[in-house]
Amino acid sequence: MASTKTSKRFAPGGKSRRAAQLKPPPFRPVQLATLVDTVPAGDRWLHEMKYDGYRLLVAVGGGTARAYTRSGLDWSKKFAGVVEAAARLGVRSALLDGEAVVMDADGRSSFQGLQGALKGAPASIDFIAFDLLELDGEDLTGRPLTERKAMLRKIVPEGGDRIRYSEHIEGNGEKLLHSFCDAGLEGIISKKADGRYVGSRSGNWLKTKCIKRQEFVVVGWTPSDKSRLFRSLILGVHEDGVLRYAGKVGTGFSNDEIIRLMETMATLEQDKPTVKAPRAEVRGAHWLKPRLVAEIAYTEMTNEGTLRHPSYLGLRADKKPEAVVLEVERAVAQVEAPAGSKVKISNRDRIIFPESNITKGQLADYYATVAAIMLPWVGSRPMSLVRCPQGRGKKCFFQKHDAGSFGDTVRHVGIMEKDGHEEPYLFIDTADGLLTCVQMGTIEFHGWGSRIEDVEKADRLVFDLDPDEGLDFEAVRKAAFHFRDILKSIGLETFPMVTGGKGVHVIAPLVPKAEWPEVKDFAHRLALAVAQSDPENFTAALPKIQRKGRIFVDYLRNQRGATAVMPYGVRARENAPVAVPITWKEMESIDAPNHFHIGDAAELVRRAGSKALSGWGRADQVLPDL
């Protein structure tokens, strides 16, 4: 293992500002549950009701509040009643995770009732809070679930207006599931009592359903020979990154919903079939661009991959069609297995970094250690992998597609290419997926600037400050602060990351609102403006001959399909350096962009849980005018 550098080690620094704590905390990736076949047994699991609504993060601070969807969109106006009630909570600031629901006459959450409320009666929407991520400026995600829920109970008033606390029981989950199913409820969520909050699918949260239901893409409709405007909707689902036929649904529609759907679908019609389907099943079909997502209940999936006895529940405006993949039950015993035991790393002694004798096993151990702090950044994001099966000194190559060789822990999202066809891009959302990539020879992980929930909208700007040969790191440091000040002057908060290579990334997180053409244009114009304001030190010119003695402001990472190395990702460079988030205070004294390496795994986990880095990479901001 490469030795730790001799420069003075430092801890995250910087003073937290009281004013910043009073603002509503920005969005952060939500923890997701894995679908399993049975309820996990034992007292180390807490079991809660699975609610039938929209997942929301509610941020409170300074007497105001905001509501974010699971993909980071600000839906405060849609959930105005929830937001107003949250603003009255007796806290300086807080970030609550929960579900927006509408209860029916029998006290059950109703997805169709929620759909109706969003169209005209938002005051009837409640928020069931089941987790607390931040409180009064303190990040709670590293604390056990039991502690977070105890703190949540204290701030959510009994019988409160619109904000309710999600009760739970310890153990006896199977019995609870049976009682819920008998009562016509959706199912239960089981959570590890001592689990930390990880913004990905970590295996700490499991869901067991009473009935099968999930989202499907509406790809067309068949006409009716009666008075109804359509007989059925044609459904599709992504499998291995390709949209395939999943059957039809012809029940569950009210007359008003049929009329509304016809009006919505009228603007989406296209001539060519959206999916391949048996001709007899889609005779007379009107095909649609795959833009609508519907929630469907069904009894089972046939061997041919179509739905039995499906029933329409409503459209989902919080889900994008690209992110609709078939959810398959996993064996609970497999999911519950101890961390690191499910992916077998072969050839652990193979030397991957020859200059320091670092092995494939050591690389895998590093990624296993940092998985919990890396997944919120790398998870659910289209990826390009740098694979070096024989080590970094031999042939390495980029890979962004997969023909199935990675197995089911590495998943696919279908993304439209320039010529109009879809390609399956890789993404991961679990530690198993991360380690499977390492088993397949991956060293580096590079991600898009958007998540699979909406690949067309950027959730960050990344400016790579790339120094010309001969420039020392002091020039890069100076440039990073200069760039920070420029972005701050136009209203963008930024965060630095040493890349493990030659330079520094200055990152500005964004609410996913602007689409790629606007983002690319903004980044290009900003890079040109910086280069023109200080031509001796900066350039935005692409030819390397024009970069001599200057720092290239690489704005090209801010376009559709471009990638950047992810936080905590290892680099295929000498001595296995790591890309690491740092504070601006640390930027004043850090000695090199490759300061950290895989031997620092334990320190990186400790740093990530520190107060100074708790808000790194998160800010509630959009592209300003330039």
- The beta strands (E) that lie in 223-369 are given as 232-239, 242-249, 269-270, 286-298, 300-301, 307-308, 311-315, 351-353, 358-359
> Residue 277 corresponds to which tokens in the numbers above?
């389907």
CA distance 567 to 610: 16
Place of tokens 């499907």: 216
The DSSP symbol for 122 reads G
Distance CA 344, CA 353 (A): 20
Beta-bridged to residue 54, according to DSSP, are: 100
Angstrom distance (rounded) from CA 610 to CA 197: 15
Q: Is 18 left (phi over 0), alpha (psi -120 to 50) or beta?
A: alpha
Helix (H) or strand (E) holding 425, with range, is strand 422-427
| DSSP secondary structure of 56-85 | EEEEEETTEEEEEETTS-B-TTTTHHHHHH
Q: What's the rounded Cα separation, in Å, for the pair 624 and 152?
A: 35
| Phi, psi for 176 (deg, rounded to 5) | -65, -40
- 546 secondary structure, DSSP code: G
User: Residue 293 is encoded by which pair of tokens?
Assistant: 């997502």
Q: Is 50 a catalytic residue?
A: yes
Rounded Cα–Cα distance for residues 326 and 455 (Å): 18
Q: Whose structure tokens read 């604390």?
A: 143
DSSP class of residue 382? -
Count helices and strands in the chain by DSSP H and E runs:
13, 33
Catalytic one among 5, 8, 50, 212?
50
End-to-end CA distance of the chain: 47
Half-sphere exposure of 4 (CA within 13 A, CB side): 9
CB 558 within 8 A of CB 476: no
Q: State the greatest distance between any 2 C-alpha atoms of the chain, in Å, as a whole number.
A: 81
| Amino acid at position 391, single letter | G
Q: Hey, how many other C-beta atoms are within 10 angstroms of the C-beta on 5?
A: 15
Give the burial class of 90: count Cβ atoms within 10 A of its Cβ; 0-12 exposed, 13-18 middle, 19 or more buried: exposed
Active site (catalytic) residues: 50
